[in-house]
Each structure stands twice: as structure tokens, then as C-alpha cells.
């Protein structure tokens, strides 16, 4: 039996891996058009410092109340579906408070979503009161960055013909204090479970994301602090350039998603499908694919990530799984690689959602086929 320790050793390059043929690498890269990184985005991902997130909790706001932000805004954190109007230099306009609502295994209601709000000088909420947090993920006090982007490391990654750029939590600037109670204990201590399914999300915000690194920090604050989950809900995230971001904290090692110890790899639990998280790895593609198709770079990285996860956990990318939540006993039967919306179809308790967006959802059959082919190549 192959132990998890041996799989992780291979992922860090300490064990030799049989090379793939050139043709296999060319096939994987054939559809990659990608996008060039702008100077600001390169700096945000690789600079020597990272800004602290500035946050102002405004409490329950609603009933037509108009507020002037107390901090220069990059984002607003509000409940999904909130009737929101914002004022910019161009005047007032309606904004859809849309997004993947994610959800923990114990939450009884959807949490807040993140709305890009750069340039907003006032905002009004006409619907029922919602908890509002004003965020600035760009201009806080600079603190040293303790890690830089590197090549993605997952079990069997050395065998892949191509691997995307990877940003650990330290590289994208996660403030680990968000995971702590006032007394210093963890809000949600890492819990590990055998992997049954892989779920694809989009972040679903109503406006384009100008800086993906800053946006990931905003999602982290919303999930960990505003929603009280103690961490970001997804295990991994992917931006439009194909860069992969570490999500929920697993352990101090260099490999995301999985925990330490012998035996088959076990995933750290997250909060991305309400009531159906334990044993379910969530990968979020940043952007709203109800509006815009995912980039070829994002899909390419998604295929590689899903293939490496499926190979490490012995999942059939084109199969069907009878999922059982080891915490609650909740069940669902669905494709082993599914979209967030598929969980509601399998068990309405998961909550209705448009995630992962129509454009990305339409590509899932082809993505499963590509993932299965790459799994075979990984040996």
C-alpha cells in the first residue's frame, strides 16, 4: 500500500518521478492562451510586504439607510441578495450582492458575500437589515511578506507535464489572527477526513476583480471573521491568470489541502457547501462565470489541480459518488467532480445556488474528460 507520507515525499520532489512524453505535455498546454500579468498584480503577488486588511463593522444596516464609508473601500461584505445601491464619481447605481455563499457544516443560514467597491463614496441598503463590513485590502499598514509564489506542490505533482504558479497563505498575505478567538484558541481547529468528492465553485461577485490577491484576502476576511467560520471556506482558489492560492489552513508543511500522518491522504475540512463539507474538497475559480467564461489559463490550472487531487485520493474523475458526511450523516449521490449547484439537486439541504456559473458549468463534462486523461498520465 502506498502511504500518504510517500505521496507527499513525491510531491516535494524528494522522490524521482517518471517523466511524461512531450506529446502529453503539448496536449495539456494546447489550449492555453492565458493573460499577461499587469505590473500592479505582479507587485501584489511578489512584493516584499503585504498590507493589513482594514475593516470597519457597521453593524446591522437596512431600511433605506445611506452610509458614508469610514474607510476607503476596496470591498463591502453583505448578505447575499441584499438590495444595494452605491455612489461613485459617475453617480448612483444598483449593485447585485451576488456570489458563492459557501457554508459550513454547522451554519443554519447563508453567510455574507464580497462585493467589489473600489471608488464607492456612499452606499444604501433598502432591504432587510444585514450585517455590513467595510473592507480595504490594499492600503493597510505594510507587514513583511514571509513567502513568495512558487510552483504548485501537491502529491504526484512532479509527474505533471506542467504545473501552475502557487501562492501559499503566507505568499498571498493571510492574517492568521483571523483564525483565533480572543483567548488565542482556534475558532475552527483543523479537522481531517477521507476524500469523497471534488467540488468546483466560482466566486460570483457582481463586478470584475481588479486584483485577485487582494480579492482573496477579502474573501478570507468575509469567511473567517464576518461569517465566523474561522478561515476561508475553500481548499484552493484559482485566478484568471491560472495562479493557484492556498485556501483553508491544513498544517505548517508546504503541501496544501492535506494533513500530516501516514496512510491515504486526508483533506482538511472547509466551508464551501453548507452541510456537505467533510470529505469534499472545494476549488474556487475567481470571477463570475454567469457573466464571463473562465479564461483558458484558469481552466488549464483547474484541470491540473483536479487531476492531482483525484490521483492522490484515488477518485474516478468521471465517476459517481454516494457521499456521506462523516460528521452529520447527511447524504447525496452526485458526480465525483461536481459543481456547487449539483449538491442542491442531490440534496436540497445544501441550498440553491447558481455556482459555479453557467459558462464554467457548461465546460465541466469536458473538464472531467481532460482530468481523467491526465490522471492516467500521472501513472
> What would the mean pLDDT of 266-283 be, rounded to a whole number?
96
Distances (CA, A) of 169 to 154, 174, 189, 228, 293: 15, 5, 17, 19, 27
pLDDT confidence tier of residue 372, bands split at 50, 70 and 90: very high
Instruction: Give alpha helix (H) positions in the chain.
Output: 4-11, 22-29, 39-46, 169-172, 212-221, 296-313, 340-346, 358-378
Residue of 279, 355, 353 whose CA lies nearest to 323: 279
Which tens digits make up the pLDDT trace of 284-298?
A: 999 999 999 999 999
Which carries the bigger pLDDT value, residue 155 or residue 247? 247
DSSP string, 38-91: PHHHHHHHHSSEEEPPEEEEEEEE-TTEEE--SS--SEEEEETT-EEEEEETTE
pLDDT digits (tens, 9 = 90+) for 303-319: 999 999 999 999 999 99
- The predicted pLDDT at position 108 comes to 60
What's the whole-number mean pLDDT along residues 266-270?
96
Helices (H), ranges, 115-251: 169-172, 212-221
The answer to whether 277 touches 105, Cβ cutoff 8 Å, is yes
**Segment 147-189, tens digit of pLDDT:** 999 999 898 888 899 999 999 999 999 999 999 999 999 999 9
C-alpha grid cell, residue 79: 448578505
DSSP secondary structure letter of residue 241: T
> Is the pLDDT at 35 greater than 80, yes or no?
no
- Would you place residue 96 in the very low, low, confident or very high pLDDT band (cuts 50, 70, 90)? confident
pLDDT band for position 46 (50/70/90)?
A: low
- Give the CA count within 13 Å in the CB-facing half-sphere of 156: 23
Please, are residues 254 and 12 in contact by the beta-carbon 8 Å criterion? yes
- The burial of 215, by beta-carbon neighbours within 10 Å (0-12 exposed, 13-18 middle, 19 or more buried), is given as buried
For the cut 90, the answer to whether the pLDDT of residue 33 exceeds it is no
Strands 280-285 and 197-202: parallel
Mean pLDDT lowest for which of 9-13, 51-55, 168-172, 225-229?
A: 9-13
Residue 361 has pLDDT above 70, yes or no: yes
Residue 346 has pLDDT above 70, yes or no: yes
Terminal C-alpha separation, the chain: 15
Instruction: Between 129 and 320, name the one with better pLDDT.
Output: 320
| pLDDT, mean of residues 262-290 | 94
Nearest alpha-carbon partner for 230 in 352, 106, 341: 106
Instruction: Return the percentage of the chain with pLDDT > 90, whole number.
Output: 72
User: If you average pLDDT over residues 40-64, what whole number do you get?
Assistant: 80
Categorize the per-residue pLDDT at 261 as very low, low, confident or very high, splitting at 50, 70 and 90: confident
Mean pLDDT, the chain, whole residue set: 87
pTM (whole model) above 0.75? yes
pLDDT value, residue 203:
96
Q: Which of 2-11, 103-112, 238-247, 337-346 has the lowest mean pLDDT?
A: 2-11
The reported pLDDT for the residue numbered 107 is 65
Task: Give the model's confidence band at 1: pLDDT under 50 very low, under 70 low, under 90 confident, else very high.
Answer: very low
Burial class (CB in 10 A: 0-12, 13-18, 19+), 32: middle
In this predicted model, what pLDDT tens digit does every residue of 61-89 receive, in sequence order? 988 989 999 999 999 999 988 999 999 99
The full set of domains in the chain, from first to last, is 4-49+145-378 (3.40.80.10), 51-136 (2.60.120)
Higher pLDDT, 134 or 30: 134
Confidence of residue 21 (pLDDT cuts 50, 70, 90): very low
Taking residues 244-252, report their average pLDDT.
96
Q: How many helices (H) and strands (E) are present in the chain, helices listed first? A: 8, 21
How many CB atoms sit inside 10 A of residue 87's CB? 16
Amino acid at each position: 500500500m502506498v502511504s500518504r507520507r510517500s505521496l507527499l515525499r513525491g510531491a516535494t520532489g524528494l522522490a524521482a518521478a517518471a517523466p511524461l512524453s512531450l506529446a502529453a505535455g503539448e496536449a495539456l498546454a494546447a489550449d492555453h492562451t492565458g493573460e499577461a500579468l499587469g505590473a500592479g498584480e505582479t507587485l501584489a503577488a511578489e512584493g516584499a510586504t503585504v498590507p493589513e486588511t482594514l475593516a470597519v463593522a457597521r453593524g446591522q444596516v437596512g431600511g433605506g439607510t445611506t452610509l458614508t464609508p469610514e474607510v476607503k473601500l476596496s470591498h463591502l461584505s453583505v448578505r447575499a441578495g441584499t438590495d444595494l445601491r452605491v455612489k461613485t464619481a459617475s453617480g448612483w447605481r444598483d449593485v447585485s450582492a451576488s456570489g458563492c455563499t459557501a457554508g459550513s457544516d454547522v451554519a443554519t443560514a447563508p453567510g455574507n458575500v464580497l462585493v467589489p467597491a473600489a471608488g464607492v463614496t456612499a452606499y444604501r441598503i433598502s432591504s432587510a437589515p444585514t450585517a455590513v463590513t467595510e473592507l480595504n485590502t490594499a492600503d493597510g499598514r505594510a507587514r513583511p511578506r514571509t513567502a513568495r509564489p512558487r510552483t504548485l506542490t501537491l502529491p504526484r505533482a512532479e509527474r505533471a507535464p506542467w504545473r501552475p504558479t502557487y501562492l501559499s497563505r503566507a505568499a498571498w498575505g493571510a492574517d492568521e489572527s483571523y483564525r483565533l478567538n480572543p483567548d488565542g484558541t482556534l475558532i475552527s481547529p483543523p479537522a481531517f477526513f477521507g476524500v469523497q468528492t471534488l467540488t468546483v465553485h466560482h466566486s460570483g461577485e457582481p463586478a470584475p476583480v481588479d486584483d485577485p490577491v487582494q480579492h482573496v484576502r477579502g474573501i478570507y476576511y468575509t469567511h473567517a471573521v464576518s461569517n465566523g467560520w474561522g478561515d476561508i471556506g475553500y481548499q484552493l482558489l484559482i485566478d484568471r491568470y491560472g495562479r493557484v492560492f492556498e485556501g483553508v489552513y491544513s498544517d505548517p508543511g508546504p503541501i496544501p489541502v492535506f494533513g500530516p500522518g501516514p496512510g491515504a491522504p486526508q483533506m482538511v475540512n472547509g466551508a464551501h457547501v453548507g452541510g456537505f463539507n467533510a470529505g469534499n474538497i472545494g476549488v474556487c475559480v475567481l470571477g463570475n462565470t454567469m457573466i464571463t467564461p473562465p479564461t483558458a489559463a484558469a481552466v488549464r490550472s483547474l484541470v491540473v489541480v483536479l487531476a492531482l487531487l483525484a490521483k492522490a485520493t484515488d477518485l474516478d474523475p468521471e465517476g459517481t459518488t454516494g457521499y456521506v458526511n462523516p460528521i452529520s450523516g447527511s447524504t447525496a449521490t452526485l458526480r465525483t467532480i461536481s459543481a456547487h449547484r449539483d449538491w442542491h439537486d442531490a440534496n436540497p439541504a445544501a441550498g440553491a445556488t447558481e455556482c459555479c456559473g453557467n459558462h464554467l458549468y457548461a465546460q465541466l463534462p469536458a473538464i472531467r474528460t481532460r482530468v481523467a486523461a491526465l490522471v492516467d498520465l500521472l501513472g
